[in-house]
Amino acid sequence: MGEDGKVLTADATAPETANQAIDLALEAFGGFHGLYHVAGGSGRKYGDGPLHEITDEGWEKTLNWNLTSLFQSNRAAAQRFLELGHGGSVLNLGSVLGYSPSPKYFTTHAYATTKAAIIGFTKSVAAYYADKDIRFNVLAPALVETPMAQRAAKDDTIQNFIKTKQPLDGGRIGIPSDLDQAALYFLGDGSKFTTGQVLTIDGGWSVSEGQY
């Protein structure tokens, strides 16, 4: 994060959290120009899975973590950009599973629903706020090494599948730094003429069959 970074630990689904984070940025750095929404998670352990098996709790928790949290942060950012009287950039983290399913090993239909919804939501608000120079875009990764991905990352069978489903760079699971340069682009002035876009960073997932 660096010596000058600031941290706020809070519930991303709570309405006040995003505004608290924005206030912290304004106080610490004197401005607010970009939001990168990464918060979310898998509801698998609460009952997300194939449609006929999804529990009410699995559905509700997955939508709350992945959509309600994003709604809260995006709304707060749009409100604050308008109050400050300048444009800004919002970058939302989606997933390749929102439009490129893989049913054998990655069947969590509530999760896929939320990631597809992020794309629709982002494009809709991007269109509305474009004339205010407030940009909204999406990064859509495939399988990336995160705490949420440990089930797949530690399964040798899934890892063998990933070698052919994500064949770039030797066929591997992604790492967070694979997204860094794209995030910098969308949050910086280099993307000031770009909004409503989905950038897929998936190691070839969406154009590869994957071998079982």
pLDDT in tens, 127-170: 999 999 999 999 999 999 988 888 888 889 999 999 999 999 99
pLDDT tier at 40, thresholds 50, 70, 90: very high
- Asked whether the CA dihedral 199, 204, 205, 208 is positive or negative, the reply is positive
Between CA 17 and CA 8 the distance in angstroms is: 9
Three-state SS letters, the chain:
CCCCCCCCCCCCCCHHHHHHHHHHHHHHHCCCCEEEECCCCCCHHHCCCCHHHCCHHHHHHHHHHHHHHHHHHHHHHHHHHHHHCCCEEEEEECCHHHCCCECCCECCHHHHHHHHHHHHHHHHHHHHHHHHCEEEEEEEECCECCHHHHHHHCCHHHHHHHHHHCCHHHCCCECHHHHHHHHHHHHCHHHCCCCCCEEEECCCHHHCCCCC
Between CA 117 and CA 109 the distance in angstroms is: 12
Question: 88 - beta bridge partners?
Answer: 134
Average pLDDT over residues 5-11: 94
Average pLDDT over residues 21-38: 97
Specify the fold of 34-206. Rossmann fold (3.40.50)
Nearest to 142 by CA among 117, 118, 112: 112
pLDDT at 125: 98
Does 50 have pLDDT greater than 70? Answer: yes
Share the mean pLDDT of the chain: 96
Taking the CB of residue 161, how many other CB atoms lie within 10 A of it? 21
Question: 34 - beta bridge partners?
Answer: 89
* The model's pTM: 0.95
Which value, to the nearest 10 degrees, does the dihedral of the CA atoms of residues 83, 88, 93, 98 take? 90
Nearest to 118 by CA among 73, 148, 158, 86: 73
Q: What angle do CA 156, 160, 161 make, to 5 degrees?
A: 120
